[in-house]
Amino acid sequence: MIRIENITRTYGSGDIEVNALVNVSLVIKENEFVAVMGASGSGKSTLMNILGCLDTPTSGEYYLSDLSVKDIDDVSLSKIRNEKIGFIFQTFHLLPRLTALQNVTLPLRYCDVTPEESERRGKELLAKVGLSDRAHHKPFEMSGGQRQRVAIARALVNNPKVIFADEPTGNLDSTTSYEIMDLLCELHTQGQTIVMVTHEEDIARYADRTIRMKDGQVVQEKLCLTA
């Protein structure tokens, strides 16, 4: 599913040059659930941005479903993000003026999908995340957990190859966090590939494998035997 080889990402130049990633190589298999951990400044967010095609490496190779993304232009990268990748963010990134259903179906505006099919998919996914009764509610009318469920439904609307979740429980209380993680695990058992950044040990244990980063490098890879 994902293969990166000797990825380096450098910001700035000269005396203010910062190596956010240094020769990072990884393989993430289809239907794997991977947690990326590390302290602030470890490079985990930079890695997530590169894997999600939101940033480009200074050097190295990145293959997504055997497609090299190294020399792809911005328009093609946008298409890859929209068709192959789903994003879940800590702060939800929902549009406040739109209903839950409209937020979920927003990515379909950039695809060749009829309004009827878009609405059908949106309602189906809201039902999947347990929010059929909130389809016409706006974000301010929902709890944090409900808003994150809307964000998860939106991430799934284009049937992505992989979901990238950046601190998906960071703004939630413990009970709601575990509910969201149970939902992600359910998606994983249904075949979804998930890569998650988290700083919480109990959240990382839900994943199949934990990758720990420090100073822009992978310092440990560990299988998670229990969730």
CA distance 14 to 32: 39
User: Which tens digits make up the pLDDT trace of 102-159?
Assistant: 999 999 987 888 999 999 999 999 999 999 999 999 999 999 999 999 999 999 999 9
Specify burial of residue 174 (Cβ count, 10 A radius: 0-12, 13-18, 19+). Answer: exposed
Distance CA 204, CA 24 (A): 20
Burial of 109 (0-12, 13-18, 19+ CB in 10 A): exposed
pTM score, two decimals?
0.92
- Give the residue extent of every domain in the chain: 30-42+81-223
Average pLDDT, the chain: 92
Kindly tell me if the per-residue pLDDT of 226 is higher than 60.
no
* Domain at 30-42+81-223, CATH class: alpha beta
